[in-house]
Structure 1
Amino acid sequence: MKRLLRSAMAVAAWLALSPAAQAMSFGEAFTAARQNDAQYRAAGHELEANRLAVPVARAALMPNVSINASQQEVDGWRKSRNANNQDMRLRLEYTSPQASVGMRMPIINRELGLRVEQAGAQAEYAEYQYQLRGNDLVDRLANAYLTVLLVEQTKLHVDKLVEALAQQVAQAQQRLARGEGTRVEVARGQAELDLAKVRVLETDDQLQLARRQLQRLTGQPLTQALQMPAAVEPPPLEPQGLFAWLELANRQNPALKAREQSLEVAKLGVKRNRAAHLPRLDLVASYSQNENESVSNLGQSTTQRAIGVQLNIPIYSGGGVEASVRQAVADRSRAEEEIRQERENVEIEVQRQYQLTQNGVGRIKAQERAVASAELAVTGMRRALEGGAGTTGDLADALSRSYAAQRELAQARIDYLLARTRLMLSAGFGMSEVAQELDRLLALAPAASTTAEK
Structure 2
Amino acid sequence: MRLKAVVSARAGVFCLLLATSVCQADDLLGLYDAALKADPQFQGAIFDHAAGAEVVTQAWAGYRPTINFEYDKVDNTQDVISSVNPTFNGLGSTSFPSSSWALTFTQPIFRYANYQRIGQAKEELKQADAQLIQSQQALMLRLSEAYLTALAAEDELGFLRAERSAAEQQLKLAFGREAAAIGRSVDRYDAEARLASVEADYAFAEVSLRDAYEALYEIVGTDPASLATLKGDVELKQPEPADDQYWIKAAMQNNPALVVQRHAVDVARREIALQNGGHFPTLDAVLRKSNQFTESTLAGGGSEVETQEIMLRLSVPIYAGGSVSSKKRESVALYKSAEQDLTRILRESRRQSKDAYWGVVNAVKRVGALNKALSAQEATLSLRRAAYKSRLDTAISVLDAERDLYSVKRDLAQAKYDYLLNSLRLKALVGVLTKDDLGFVNNWLQKS
2:384 pairs with 1:363: no
Aligned AA for 2:25? A
* Match in the other structure for 1:12: none
Distance 1:284 1:83 in 2: 39
Normalization by structure 1: what TM-score? Answer: 0.86
CA contact (8 A) 2:29 2:442 kept: no
In the TM superposition, what is the alpha-carbon distance from 1:77 to its structure 2 partner?
Answer: 4.8
> Which is further off, 226-235 or 352-361?
226-235
- 1:249-294 Cα offsets, whole Å, 9 max, x none, are 2332111112211221122122222333323210101111111178
Distance 1:216 1:333 in 2: 37
* Match in the other structure for 2:301: 298
> Which is further off, 322-331 or 271-280?
322-331
Q: Which one of 32, 35, 54 corresponds to residue 33 of structure 1?
A: 35
Change beyond 3 A, Cα 1:226–1:73? same
* Match in the other structure for 1:221: 223
Change beyond 3 A, Cα 1:83–1:259? closer
Equivalence map 1:56-205=2 (5 Å) = 56-77=58-79, 88-89=90-91, 92-205=94-207
User: The residue matched to 2:229 in structure 1 has which SS?
Assistant: coil
- 1:185-242 Cα offsets, whole Å, 9 max, x none, are 2222222222222222121111111111111221111212441342311244234311
* Match in the other structure for 1:266: 268
Aligned AA for 2:335? R
Distance 1:93 1:190 in 2: 106
Equivalence map 1:329-368=2 (5 Å) = 329-368=332-371
2:393 pairs with 1:384: no
Distance 2:234 2:73 in 1: 85
* Match in the other structure for 2:436: 436
Q: Which one of 388, 407, 431 corresponds to residue 404 of structure 1?
A: 407
Distance 2:333 2:226 in 1: 56
> Which is further off, 180-189 or 145-154?
180-189
Distance 2:87 2:417 in 1: 110
* Match in the other structure for 2:311: 308
Distance 1:399 1:41 in 2: 47
CA contact (8 A) 1:98 1:288 kept: yes
- Any stretches of 5+ residues in structure 1 without a counterpart? 1-17, 450-454
CA contact (8 A) 2:281 2:316 kept: yes
Tell me the percent identity: 25
The CA RMSD over aligned residues, in Å, is: 2.7
Distance 1:322 1:88 in 2: 59
Aligned AA for 1:351? K
* Match in the other structure for 2:446: 446
In the TM superposition, what is the alpha-carbon distance from 1:82 to its structure 2 partner?
Answer: 11
* Match in the other structure for 2:5: none
In the TM superposition, what is the alpha-carbon distance from 1:319 to its structure 2 partner?
Answer: 4.1
Distance 2:407 2:243 in 1: 33
Distance 1:69 1:62 in 2: 24
CA contact (8 A) 1:79 1:87 kept: no
Distance 2:238 2:324 in 1: 57
Change beyond 3 A, Cα 1:326–1:89? closer
- 1:74-117 Cα offsets, whole Å, 9 max, x none, are 34455788999996445534321211111212011121111122
Aligned AA for 1:422? R
> Which is further off, 262-271 or 39-48?
39-48
Distance 2:369 2:442 in 1: 21
CA contact (8 A) 1:230 1:445 kept: no
Aligned AA for 1:58? W
> Which is further off, 305-314 or 182-191?
182-191
User: The residue matched to 1:212 in structure 2 has which SS?
Assistant: helix
Change beyond 3 A, Cα 1:82–1:177? closer
Normalization by structure 2: what TM-score? Answer: 0.87
* Match in the other structure for 2:10: none
* Match in the other structure for 1:452: none
Change beyond 3 A, Cα 1:38–1:178? same
* Match in the other structure for 2:277: 275
In the TM superposition, what is the alpha-carbon distance from 1:303 to its structure 2 partner?
Answer: 1.0
Change beyond 3 A, Cα 1:85–1:245? closer
User: The residue matched to 2:446 in structure 1 has which SS?
Assistant: helix
